Amino acid sequence: MVIKKRQILWDWTNSSGSGNSGVPDKINQVPFGSKSPVSSVVNWNAWVPPELKGRAPFRPMVRVLDSTKGNDWAMIQNSNEPIILFFNEPERAGISPEQAKDIWYKQMLPLRKNKGKKLGSPAVASDDNGRKWIEKFMSLVSKDLPDFLCLHYYSKSADEAIKYIEGMHNKWPKLKVMVTEIACIDRNYQAVLGFTVKICNWMDTKDYIFEYGLFDFQRKVADNFVSPAAQLMDGNGNFTELGKMYVNQQPMKLPGKAAVSLAATSEIHLMAVNATAALGQDQQKALDAHNSKRKAKGLAPLIWDNQLAKNAEAYAKHLGQIGKLEHSSGDQRPNQGENLAWASASSTPLIMSANMWLAEEKNYHGQPIGQGDFGSYGHYTQCMWKSTTKVGMGWAKDAKGGVYVVGRYSPPGNMVGQKPY
């Protein structure tokens, strides 16, 4: 039996509109239907994404004070959707619990009393200010509570997330819970996978959790707080491995692993994290070299990905066998960029190659990819591609002791006509 609880947090920039071309067709990657765990779509607005085309319920949101008037409020009043969400992190938008209470009684409750809508509470951040805000608001409306307690949670620990959600539910045990934003903020991809698998599988099994939304489907990292490793969509609008897992798998499972029980997930998560945390000295230096250059340009750091590193090593062995540098074909490395290098000998081939690729900065003068002498700067621009979030490198020797080095990047860069940053 499919458990339908997963919200698609579909960023408004994905929809086409005035001055925004969007990627509306990319919503077709969501497997809507009775066999899908997807339950609804949220875009933090009152308007329905046109590309949704009625394939799933939409959850309109009265996000900020401006949403309580004008065209946004007209859309809320005329909505045919059964559930309306109320205020997104109001404590950070300068909205007091008292203001929210007044709007609750004047505008939100009539939606329930006169139109039969179910109402979500304001969704606050999980810090002290957020908790104090929602406790005050709920005390002010204690005689007319919302139908759903809406929560946000970001951390590096799934166990802490579970403790927080359980604790908030215990404060208002009669209310169903909507976790309308949740994600791991660890920069380590394996840690993100472990967090996501555990928390999603746990929420799927809890009857008091009505829905939850993994943050989020958009083409760029929302801010410096959000982890690039937790992106559900790449820069071109294609779902990442994590995004595909979220919309397709139930129960979710770690890549390369059989489906696991909740009791076993924590142990597997720890194993995955420890395996990645202990990078070799050459690996760490190569990663640091990339990220030092990226930081200088204001770009988010890359994370080391073990699967990319395995792919890179396997292809480096192939190059060692054929004895020449030759890029792999696109179908051999789907959604991966590639840099190659060779040296007659090296005891630290990864940092050597990273430094060599990054040194091409002197040849790049800000032109779109495809212009100028691409061969003289293309390795550098791949290292510095803004939407790239993961890197893995591998090497192998040929029969004469020559060293072949391969770097793999995801999502790939060097898109013709675009600039890296």
Would you say 349 and 405 are in contact if contact means Cβ atoms under 8 Å apart? yes
Q: How long, in residues, is the chain? A: 421
The phi and psi torsions of 180 (rounded to 5 degrees) equal -80, -10
Number of alpha carbons in the 13 Å side-chain half-sphere of residue 129: 9
pLDDT at 17: 84
Beta bridge partners of 155: 184
pLDDT at 359: 94
Average pLDDT, the chain: 92
Measured CA to CA, the distance from residue 304 to residue 341 in angstroms comes to 19
pLDDT at 278: 66
pLDDT at 255: 82
Q: What are the chain's domains?
A: 6-269 (3.20.20.80), 281-410 (3.40.33.10)
Would you say 90 and 124 are in contact if contact means Cβ atoms under 8 Å apart? yes
Could you tell me how many helices (H) and strands (E) the chain has, helices first?
Answer: 12, 12
Measured CA to CA, the distance from residue 214 to residue 9 in angstroms comes to 7
User: Band of the pLDDT at 407, cuts 50, 70, 90?
Assistant: very high
Would you say 105 and 121 are in contact if contact means Cβ atoms under 8 Å apart? no
Which range of 132-146, 361-375, 390-404 scores highest in mean pLDDT? It is 132-146
Is 404's pLDDT higher than 80?
yes
Contacts 24+ apart (CB under 8 A), 398-401: 398/319, 398/320, 398/321, 398/323, 399/320, 399/323, 401/344, 401/345
Is 275's pLDDT higher than 70?
no
Is 269's pLDDT higher than 60?
no
User: Could you report the per-residue pLDDT of 280-326, keeping only the tens digit for each?
Assistant: 999 999 999 999 999 999 999 999 999 999 999 999 999 999 999 98
Cα distances from 322 to residues 25, 81, 313, 343, in angstroms, run: 41, 61, 14, 15
User: Band of the pLDDT at 279, cuts 50, 70, 90?
Assistant: confident
Q: How large is the angle between the packed helices 241-248 and 189-205, nearest 10 degrees? A: 10
Measured CA to CA, the distance from residue 379 to residue 276 in angstroms comes to 25
Query: What pTM did the predictor assign?
Result: 0.63
- By C-alpha distance, which of 220, 221, 254, 251 is closest to 236? 220
pLDDT at 256: 63
Percentage of the chain lying above the pLDDT 70 cut: 95
pLDDT at 345: 83
For tokens 């959850």, name the residue. Answer: 59
Q: Residue 167, SS3?
A: helix
pLDDT at 352: 95
Cα distances from 168 to residues 59, 123, 176, 183, 214, in angstroms, run: 22, 12, 11, 17, 19
User: Could you report the per-residue pLDDT of 1-59, keeping only the tens digit for each?
Assistant: 799 999 999 999 999 987 788 999 999 999 999 889 999 999 999 999 999 999 999 99
pLDDT at 331: 77
User: Could you report the per-residue pLDDT of 225-268, keeping only the tens digit for each?
Assistant: 999 999 999 999 999 999 999 999 999 998 864 433 333 333 32
